[in-house]
Amino acid sequence: MVNAQKRLIDHLEIEKLLTVIGGSMGGMEALQWMVAYPDRIRSAIPIATTMKHTPQQIAFNEVGRQAIMADPNWKKGRYYGSAKPAKGLAVARMIGHITYMSDVSMAEKFGRRFRADREPYKFGAEFEVEGYLRYRGDNFVKRFDANSYLYITKAIDYFNILNGKRLADIFKGLKAKVLVIAFKSDWLYPAYQSQEIVKACKLAGIDTTYCEINSTYGHDAFLLEIEEEAHLIKHFLNTVSNGNRNGA
């Protein structure tokens, strides 16, 4: 993915990017830019991400993949032109969405409230949270492809910028400034993983800033805490731009 992005900026004759920024998987791409093309960026902003998946993170993705592949309509990926594996993909999305929220955010949004149209003990969506997850799953199927989900989650699981290197050597030679943002309630990509990125940057002598936002939204915070993130990013990019003008 990053190689394709690099080819695009080559085609556009862009010599150097002011910054590369992304959250979650996008944060992994920002990290890959730092490793693969350090001379083409002035700064990087990885948000709510990690240098490599833990077994737990891989496990959640695998459950989602299994849900898709267990759908009889998947047909080993050869479902185009016929019925899509909609049920499997919907379940995969439901599993993923649970990991994006936090215990606090789910309690605040749903509590243990029942749906007004529930049918007790019929295994339908009785609780509000059940109805919400089913809605998210069904809506996701309308705009996403099951095979794409399989390959994207597998790509994330394979991502590992450590690759046997010492922490101090990962970003060796990188001259860009770095801002790392994490969220206190994010249990999918917990703050300690962002702190590991900061540690690797510091060991490499990189000018690095770490900000941990006190949000209750879980991993979804990187999509929802727009005002706080915008404030931090604006200030950071101003320091990058000013450094550029001063010949840094």
Q: Is 117 helix (H, G, I), strand (E, B) or coil?
A: coil
Identify the active-site residue in 71, 194, 215, 219. 219
Identify the active-site residue in 24, 105, 185, 215. 24
Residue pair 36/172 in contact by the 8 Å Cβ criterion = no
Identify the active-site residue in 53, 105, 186, 194. 186
Instruction: State yes or no: is 24 an active-site residue.
Output: yes
Instruction: State yes or no: is 207 an active-site residue.
Output: no
Instruction: State yes or no: is 186 an active-site residue.
Output: yes
Of 180, 179, 184, the closest CA to residue 217 belongs to: 184
Q: Name the phi and psi angles at 160, rounded to 5.
A: -165, 100
83 dihedral zone (left: phi>0; alpha: psi -120 to 50; beta):
beta
Q: Give the torsion sign (CA, 98, 118, 122, 137).
A: negative
Residue pair 28/56 in contact by the 8 Å Cβ criterion = no
Residue pair 178/209 in contact by the 8 Å Cβ criterion = yes
Please list the active-site residues: 24, 186, 219
